[in-house]
């Protein structure tokens, strides 16, 4: 049975991580699950996200996952420690890139763009306690950003206004490092950089996560079965919509599979 590198997110945000993993590990089998039936995760209670994430990882392992990447900051914040306690395969998670932002700031002020779920999680508090010494870290929730990326209406006045609503106050406060603390936000990066201007660095943790995934995969010594499809994309939502999102965001025009939730169990 082929061992997949499996990634999951509440929707298409994790495709920003998939893109980096595909570049870091070209040709390896990648399985991506978009749990669009529950999107967005950011407004859900932590306990609910843990239950959802645990069932998704169980399903991914049943599909042959050898490594799981929680390509979602909110799910990582709520469930990463929980998942590692319950499963034996390597599980790679996301965390806001507070450490590099703190080390690079010149103004002493760093902004983190994320969902409320990420800010409420224990991992974020640990990050601040460990690295945010002598630096002001401003947490900025961004309501509407995940939904805007999922809707696919990127570009134009609406996108710029939505981005400016949350980025401009941070810049006015003297922030010179902006951390993307949600994988969906990577698809808004061109507009974030335009609003922030050249004096502000935007940090996306996805490349670092891809490098960690490579290290974990190589440590397993896992082989590649070239007779199987290289990529699988699965949604718990609407397949035609997901197919259009894949085409628009990463240029994928292949088949899409479905999985369904039934009384808390993922089937498909």
Measured between alpha carbons, how far is residue 64 from residues 4, 56, 60, 96, 221 in Å? 6, 13, 7, 29, 15
Q: Which two tokens stand for residue 54?
A: 């645990």
Residue given tokens 């760093």 in the structure block = 110
Catalytic residue annotation: 72, 182
Instruction: State the Cα–Cα distance between residues 146 and 148, nearest whole angstrom.
Output: 5
């Amino acid at each position: 049975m082929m061992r997949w590198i499996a990634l999951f997110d509440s929707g298409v945000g994790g495709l920003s991580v998939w893109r980096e993993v595909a570049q870091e590990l070209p040709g390896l089998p990648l399985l991506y699950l978009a749990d669009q039936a529950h999107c967005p995760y950011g407004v859900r209670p932590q306990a609910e996200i843990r239950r959802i994430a645990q069932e998704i990882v169980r399903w991914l392992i049943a599909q042959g996952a050898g490594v799981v990447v929680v390509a979602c900051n909110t799910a990582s914040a709520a469930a990463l420690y929980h998942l590692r306690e319950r499963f034996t395969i390597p599980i790679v998670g996301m965390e806001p890139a507070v450490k590099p932002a703190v080390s690079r700031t010149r103004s002493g002020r760093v902004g983190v763009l994320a969902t409320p779920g990420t800010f409420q999680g224990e991992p974020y508090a640990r990050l601040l306690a460990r690295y945010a010494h002598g630096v002001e870290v401003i947490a900025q929730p961004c309501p509407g950003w995940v939904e805007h990326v999922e809707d696919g209406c990127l570009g134009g006045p609406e996108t710029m206004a939505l981005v400016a609503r949350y980025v401009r106050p941070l810049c006015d406060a003297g922030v010179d490092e902006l951390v993307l603390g949600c994988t969906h936000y990577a698809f808004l990066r061109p507009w974030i950089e335009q609003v922030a201007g050249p004096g502000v660095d935007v940090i996306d943790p996805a490349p670092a996560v891809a490098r960690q995934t490579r290290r974990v995969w190589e440590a397993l010594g896992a082989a590649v079965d070239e007779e199987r499809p290289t990529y699988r994309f699965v949604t718990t939502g609407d397949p035609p919509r997901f197919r259009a999102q894949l085409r628009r965001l990463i240029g994928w025009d292949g088949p899409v599979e479905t999985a369904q939730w039934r009384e808390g169990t993922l089937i498909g």
